[in-house]
Each structure stands twice: as structure tokens, then as C-alpha cells.
């Protein structure tokens, strides 16, 4: 039996016979279904985010693995965690069937090799502190299934984000998205990918918020490595402390460019090293003056 993502959509037969404006309308309607599909799985997504938070807090990793579009989505989410949340290098990683070359171009045959998936996963020496999250629209990708089997054998927590609601793949934390057939049959770069990206965004963002990497809606651990991000950090510190931009800039320089440390210095009056230690152990919410607590 075909997975849901491979079946023919009710509008498919006339898709190439209607005006392009109508095609665009259809695509948008399918995108809305992707959002609904993610919304139907919020409990499962929350469970996965909580598992990732626990893993990262314990020194473990979030390891994504996938092929084709699914693999690229995992790589995208992993790449954003360091600059956005100050994740350590290697704390969130992605394995893509076909390796780095597959990030820029299709390496179609790579997804069929279960042994390659298992080998790539074992090379990361996974263990009980890690969460290994497979991404497969059909839940049938051999590369992903092989890697998940290796993860189970290593004692890691396993997860699967799939767009086949009938999937019974053996994992600890399944997220089964009911996106239905694609307008272009089998083209899971469409709404299946949209729903999957929503889930991955939610998992990583919620996990890092739980780790205290966001304060009052701001990215306090973002790596300010260009002019735009340095200006953002300065404005952030000014907003949260009531200082002028110039004063915030001086505080940031004393803090080594860390917005978290700059805020902790402002709240406590301590020098950078001591303030950073307090912020790391107690969190900024515990350090801020009571009148600023919301």
C-alpha cells in the first residue's frame, strides 16, 4: 500500500489544466493543511521538545537524520541552533544521506542504503544521553530506518517525524503528521516539508527556551558576529536595562559581547566572570530586580 504522501490528490488530474493563479491558490490551501497537521500533533511535539531539553541539559545531543528534503530540513534546523541560541558546536547535528554534497544537490540513491545510515550514526558514538530524531515523510526511508535501529541499539532516545499517520516505525517519540497527498504526487518538498519544518522549529526552539537561552522573548545567547547582530545585541541590552545605547555598548564590551552576561552584570553589579556564573546557574529571571519581573 502506498504511503499517504504518494497517493493521488483529488485535484491532481486537472492541476495542469487550470490557470496558474488557481494553482497558487491550491498550493496555499495545502500549506494551511500543513499548519493544521502540525497543530494536531502538539502533544507529541511537546513530548519530543521536553526529551531534547533533558538531553541537552545532561550534556547529550540532538541528532537529526534524513534524506533529500527531509535531511536538508534537519541540517537547516541544526545549523541555526548555534547562532540563535548559542548552542555548542556539535550539540545539535544532522546526518544527511549522501553527505555534504546532498545539501546542495540531489543524491537520490543514498537514501536506499540502510547500512550507510547505521554506519553514519555509529560514527557519532550515540548513547543514552542523546536524542536521535529521524525525519522521513513516508516513514520508509532505509537510510533513516537503519540509523534509528543503530540508535536503539546504542541506548539513545529515538524519535521520528513523519507525514504517514499510519506509520508504526519503532521509536520512543513518534510525531505523525496527517498532511495527506501532495498536489504533485510524491513531491514531499511541498506541504509535507512545510509541516515538518514547523515541527523541527518548535522542537529546537522550545527546548532551548527551556534551557534558558531566551529571556523576555529575546535571543540573549545569539552569537553577534556581524554588524547587524552586534547592533541588535546593543539595542536588546538597552531595552532590558533602561540604559542608553552608548551605555549598553560599553556594558557589552565589558561582557565580552555576551548579552546574557551584560544583563547579569547590570542586574547584580558584579564583574563579568561572576555575573556570567550566576546567570548560568540561576538564570536571568532570578537575577532581575523584582519590579522588572513579568
CATH of residue 266's domain is 1.10.8
Going residue by residue through the chain, which has 294 residues, state the pLDDT in tens, using 9 for 90 and above: 788 888 999 998 999 999 999 999 999 999 999 999 999 999 999 999 999 999 999 999 999 999 999 999 999 999 999 999 999 999 999 999 988 877 777 776 778 899 999 999 999 999 999 999 999 999 999 999 999 999 999 999 999 999 999 999 999 999 999 999 999 999 999 999 999 999 999 999 999 999 999 999 999 998 888 899 899 999 999 999 999 999 999 999 999 999 999 999 999 999 999 999 999 889 898 998 765 544
Q: Both 117 and 199 in a single domain?
A: yes
Same domain, 21 and 74: yes
The active-site residue, picked from 80, 82, 108, 247, is: 80
Pairwise CA distance, residues 271 & 276, whole Å: 8
Domain span at residue 55 reads: 4-210
Number of structural domains in the chain = 2
Residue 215 lies in a domain: no
The answer to whether the beta carbons of residues 92 and 77 sit under 8 Å apart is yes
Q: What is the pLDDT of residue 291?
A: 56
- Which residues share a beta bridge with 131? 62, 157
Q: pLDDT per residue over 106-146, tens digit each?
A: 776 778 899 999 999 999 999 999 999 999 999 999 999 99
Q: What 8-state DSSP symbol labels residue 141? A: -
Cell numbers placing 229: 547582530
- For residue 288, the model assigns a pLDDT of 84
Sheet of strand 92-96: strand arrangement: 92-96, 62-66, 131-135, 157-162, 173-176
Annotation says 40 is catalytic: no
Q: Does a structural domain hold residue 155?
A: yes
> Catalytic one among 13, 40, 82, 111?
111
Paired residues of 62 in beta bridges: 92, 131
The pTM of this model reads: 0.92
Residue 292: per-residue pLDDT: 52
Cβ distance 258 to 264 under 8 Å? no
Is 13 among the residues known to form the active site?
no
Domain membership of residue 219 (yes or no) is no
Same domain, 174 and 265: no
- Helix extents (H) in 58-190: 68-85, 101-104, 114-122, 142-153
Residue pLDDT, tens place only, 159-182: 999 999 999 999 999 999 999 999
Identify whether 91 is part of a domain.
Answer: yes
| Amino acid 290: pLDDT | 65
Answer yes or no: is 287 within a domain. yes
Amino acid at each position: 500500500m502506498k504511503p499517504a504522501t504518494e497517493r493521488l490528490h483529488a485535484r491532481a488530474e486537472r492541476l495542469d489544466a487550470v490557470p496558474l493563479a488557481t494553482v497558487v491558490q491550491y498550493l496555499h490551501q495545502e500549506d494551511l493543511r500543513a499548519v493544521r497537521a502540525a497543530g494536531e500533533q502538539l502533544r507529541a511535539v511537546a513530548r519530543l521538545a521536553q526529551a531534547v531539553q533533558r538531553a541537552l541539559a545532561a550534556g547529550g545531543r540532538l541528532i537529526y537524520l534524513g534524506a533529500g528534503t527531509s535531511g536538508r530540513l534537519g541540517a537547516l534546523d541544526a545549523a541555526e541552533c548555534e547562532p540563535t541560541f548559542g548552542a555548542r558546536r556539535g550539540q545539535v547535528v544532522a546526518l544527511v544521506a549522501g553527505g555534504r554534497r546532498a545539501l546542495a544537490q540531489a543524491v537520490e540513491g543514498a537514501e536506499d542504503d540502510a547500512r550507510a545510515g547505521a554506519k553514519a550514526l555509529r560514527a557519532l558514538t550515540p548513547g543514552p544521553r542523546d536524542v536521535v530524531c529521524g525525519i522521513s515523510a513516508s516513514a520508509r526511508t532505509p537510510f533513516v530506518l537503519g540509523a534509528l535501529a543503530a540508535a536503539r541499539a546504542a541506548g539513545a532516545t529515538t524519535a521520528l517525524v513523519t507525514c504517514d499517520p499510519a506509520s508504526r516505525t519503532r521509536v520512543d517519540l513518534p510525531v505523525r503528521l496527517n498532511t495527506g497527498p501532495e498536489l504533485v504526487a510524491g513531491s514531499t518538498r511541498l506541504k509535507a516539508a512545510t509541516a515538518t519544518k514547523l515541527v523541527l522549529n518548535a522542537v529546537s526552539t522550545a527546548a532551548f527556551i527551556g534551557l534558558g537561552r531566551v529571556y523576555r522573548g529575546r535571543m540573549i545567547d545569539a552569537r553577534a558576529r556581524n554588524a547587524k547582530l552586534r547592533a541588535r545585541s546593543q539595542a536588546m541590552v538597552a531595552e532590558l536595562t533602561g540604559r542608553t545605547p552608548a551605555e549598553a555598548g560599553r556594558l557589552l564590551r565589558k561582557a565580552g559581547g555576551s548579552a546574557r552576561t551584560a544583563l547579569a552584570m547590570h542586574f547584580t553589579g558584579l564583574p563579568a566572570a561572576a555575573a556570567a556564573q550566576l546567570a548560568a546557574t540561576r538564570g536571568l529571571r532570578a537575577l532581575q530586580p523584582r519590579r522588572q519581573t513579568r
